[in-house]
Structure 1
Amino acid sequence: MKTIGYTTGVFDLFHIGHLNVLKRARLECDHLIVGISTDELSMQSKGKTPIIPFQERMDIVEAIKFVDEVVPQVNYDKFEAWNNLRFDRMFVGDDWKGSQKWNNYELQFSNVGVEILYFPYTKHTSSTKLREILNKI
């Protein structure tokens, strides 16, 4: 039986941390689906519009050999995403591990057989750090 994996992100200013997550996620599933946050969702949640437009971010992630499918992420309702995509595993950065939000997701998803795997967050490179450098130019 094919294992379907799912991860999400803005994937703005694509960098090695993004690549590492996608590469690692693909090792843990047979089919990897990546949800890309829309510009509107990013603005609503982070108060800023990504530097790279939504369609270009979709195209970049879709071109990566570890990714099998790319879908828009229009909200943060992970259970709605599961209802639409029926993934078996969800991948997220370990900076969320132990948070109330993700403890709730773990409980909710355990009822439908979805496993949540936490991957190490890339501390030395982030889109936020890259954006700060660009703002200084």
Structure 2
Amino acid sequence: MKKIGYTTGVFDLFHIGHLNVLKRARLECDYLIVGVTSDELSSTVKGKKPVIPFVERMEIVEAIKFVDEVVPQTNYDKREAWSNLKFDMMFVGDDWKGTEKWNAIETEFNALGVEIFYFPYTTHTSSTILRDVLTRI
């Protein structure tokens, strides 16, 4: 049976940390679906508009050989995403592991047979660090 994986991100100022997550996720599944966060959702939730426009970020992620399908992420409702995509596993940065929110998501998805994988967060490179460097130039 084909294992479908799912992960999401803003993927602004695409860097090695993004690539590593996508590469590692694809090693765990047969088909990888990636949700790219819309400009509106990023602005509302994170309080900052991405540097790279949404359509361009979608194109960048679509071009990555580890990615089989790209979908817009317009909300953070993981259950709704599962209802639409029927993935078997979800990949998340380990900075969320053990949080109240993700403990609840793990419990909910465990009942659905969906496995949650946590991958190490890339500390030496991040879009936030890149954004800060760019604003200093």
Tell me if TM exceeds 0.5. yes
SS at match of 2:70: strand
Q: Who is 2:33 aligned against?
A: 33
SS in 1 for 2:112: coil
- Residue type matched to 1:16 in 2? I
Q: Supply the distance in 2 between the matched residues of 1:20 and 1:125 (Cα, whole angstroms).
A: 11
How far did 1:121 drift?
Answer: 0.5
Gaps of 5+ in 2: none
CA-based RMSD of the aligned residues comes to: 0.3
Query: Does the alignment pair 1:71 with 2:71?
Result: yes
Name the SS for the 1:35 alignment partner. strand
Residues 103-130 of structure 1, C-alpha deviations (whole Å, 9 max, x = no match): 0000000111000000000000000000
Percent of aligned positions with the same letter in both sequences? 76
Count of aligned residue pairs for this structure pair: 137
Deviation at 1:12, TM superposition (A): 0.1
1:88 is matched with: 88
* 1:92 partner SS: strand
Shift of 1:96: 0.4
SS of the aligned residue for 1:111 comes to: helix
CA distance in structure 2 between the partners assigned to 1:99 and 1:57 by the alignment: 28
Shift >6 Å, 4+ stretches? none
TM-score (norm 1): 1.00
The TM-score, its normalising length taken from structure 2, stands at 1.00
Match of 1:108 in 2: 108
